[in-house]
Amino acid sequence: MSGNFYQKVFKKVKKIPKGKVATYGQIAALIGHPKAAQMVGWALHEGAGPKVKGVPWQRVINREGRISIVNMDHPPEEQVFLLRREGVKVRQVEKNFFVDLNKYLWQLKKK
């Protein structure tokens, strides 16, 4: 399942415009696997590497609006930098980073 699943994730994430974010759960639901939010994260871990070009992994965050990445190759600060460069305001609360979902959530439509 992972190969086809990953490709569906990459295709959907590539549609998120600059300046917007989606949640792992949204992406999972949009590709027909509503309970696979964690697998979306695993796919994006793969998509952030050199094997897959052009996947804007930084635009996917958790359902609380928090950057929840745990990847030594791509730390949360990198995701913050990339999002801010796209015009997304990211606020820091202690060691956590948050995006206002009311303002930046991309309203994806299931097709």
List the domain boundaries for the chain. 2-104
Q: For residue 79, what pLDDT is reported? A: 93
Q: For residue 51, what pLDDT is reported? A: 58
Query: Is 20:59 a contact under the CB 8 Å cutoff?
Result: yes
Where does residue 13 rank: exposed (0-12), middle (13-18), buried (19+ CB within 10 A)?
buried
| pLDDT band with cut points at 50, 70 and 90 for residue 98 | very high
Q: For residue 63, what pLDDT is reported? A: 96
79: helix, coil or strand?
A: helix
Looking at the chain, how many residues does it have? 111
| pTM for this model (two decimals) | 0.89
Q: Residue 64 above 70 pLDDT?
A: yes
Residue 47 CA, chain-centre distance (Å), reads 10
Q: For residue 69, what pLDDT is reported? A: 84
Q: Residue 2 above 90 pLDDT?
A: no
Q: What is the CATH number of domain 2-104?
A: 1.10.10.10
- Express each pLDDT in 19-61 by its tens digit: 999 999 999 999 999 999 999 999 998 766 555 678 999 999 9
The CA distance from 14 to 102, in Å, is 21
Q: For residue 99, what pLDDT is reported? A: 98
Q: For residue 9, what pLDDT is reported? A: 95
Q: For residue 74, what pLDDT is reported? A: 78
